[in-house]
Amino acid sequence: MYVGACPKLIEPRSESSVKTVVSPNKTKGRIAPIRVVIVHTMETGESSNVAENVAAYFARASTNASAHLCVDNNSVVRCVADSDTAWAAPGCNSDGLQIELAGRAGQLKAQWADEYSKDLLDLAARQVAAWCDKHNIPARRLTRAQLRAGQRGIAGHADVSAVYKRSDHWDPGDNFPWTSFIAKVNHYLDGGGAQPSKPATSKPTAKPGDWPAFPGRLLSYRPGTALMSGADVTTWQSRLKQLRYTITVDGQYGPMTAAATKVFQRAEHLDADGVVGPKTWRAAA
């Protein structure tokens, strides 16, 4: 499929704009692989320092609870590393990433649509997109049956309570705007901002001559490491550019190339791992 967009690196908010207030309330490490993102509300009003205040609350050992991230309308505060287990949703602590949003489970639809909530949901969607990308979690809301069956995706604390019956919390509430939130997550996952300009019916026909056979050396992206020769990287980047992905043709396989490759792979229904293997290479021909 041709994507006429300008895919950008997902901006998981540079780490510098994410504050850190470490919570002692956690289990070191992970008992189970990360599988789900669990959405919570902090049961607070709407003010600009809610995330900081709740993070300070989680920083006290006596609180005996935590989350990975707290988000309000203008900030993200990290309390627990993804690699550690936060205490937020019994039943899905061991395999969950926990995100706490400013607001209340009892909010009406209109309250989830005010300016404050729009900013909050936008910040939260960027974070959840970064998680989905990093941990290979599909950006979809799980039904309770899917959650029970061990599938991967996004759910609310209420869903965890209903499935595992170890809590009576019902956040983020019946009026949480799930459909638009999941759409926003997918928006950021697909590059954030750029909408396809015009749906094209096919790939551009102009090709860089004959598409060469796969060079046979897997390009494994790790920061600063490319196992493909610079010439092959240049061929790959030139083809992505010709397919109208935003990319600098410099022969260096860096994070921008990995990000553009992932967007290309999603469009081609391939595993979006950012690594150019034979299937990905052939799909570009």
Nearer to Zn ion by Cβ, of 72 and 171: the residue is 171
Asked if 171 touches Zn ion (CB under 5 A), the answer is yes
Say how many residues make up the chain.
285
Query: What distance in Å separates the CA atoms of residue 86 and residue 31, rounded to the nearest whole number?
Result: 11
Minimum distance from residue 11 beta carbon to Zn ion (Å): 27
Minimum distance from residue 67 beta carbon to Zn ion (Å): 8
Pairing of strands 36-41, 69-71: unpaired
Asked if 169 touches Zn ion (CB under 5 A), the answer is yes
Asked if 68 touches Zn ion (CB under 5 A), the answer is no
Residues 6+ apart with CB under 8 A from 207: 242, 285
Nearer to Zn ion by Cβ, of 23 and 257: the residue is 23
Tell me, by CB under 5 A, how many residues bind Zn ion: 4
Residue type, 177: P
Query: What distance in Å separates the CA atoms of residue 231 and residue 264, rounded to the nearest whole number?
Result: 20
Asked if 262 touches Zn ion (CB under 5 A), the answer is no
Nearer to Zn ion by Cβ, of 40 and 244: the residue is 40
Asked if 126 touches Zn ion (CB under 5 A), the answer is no
Please identify, among the stretches 75-83, 163-171, 209-217, 267-275, the one whose residues bind Zn ion according to the rule CB under 5 A. Answer: 163-171
Contact present, 72 and 204 (Cβ < 8 Å): no
Nearer to Zn ion by Cβ, of 2 and 170: the residue is 170
The kind and range of the H/E element at 67 are none
The kind and range of the H/E element at 210 are none
Nearer to Zn ion by Cβ, of 54 and 247: the residue is 54
Minimum distance from residue 102 beta carbon to Zn ion (Å): 13
Asked if 187 touches Zn ion (CB under 5 A), the answer is no
Minimum distance from residue 37 beta carbon to Zn ion (Å): 13
Nearer to Zn ion by Cβ, of 8 and 169: the residue is 169
Q: Which of residues 26-55 bind Zn ion (CB under 5 A)?
A: 40
Minimum distance from residue 44 beta carbon to Zn ion (Å): 12
3-state secondary structure 38-104: EEEECCCCCCCCHHHHHHHHHCCHHHCCCCCEEECCCCEEECCCCCCEECCCCCCCCCEEEEEECCC
Contact present, 15 and 201 (Cβ < 8 Å): no
CA 261 to chain centre: 16
Interaction site with Zn ion (CB under 5 A): 40, 157, 169, 171
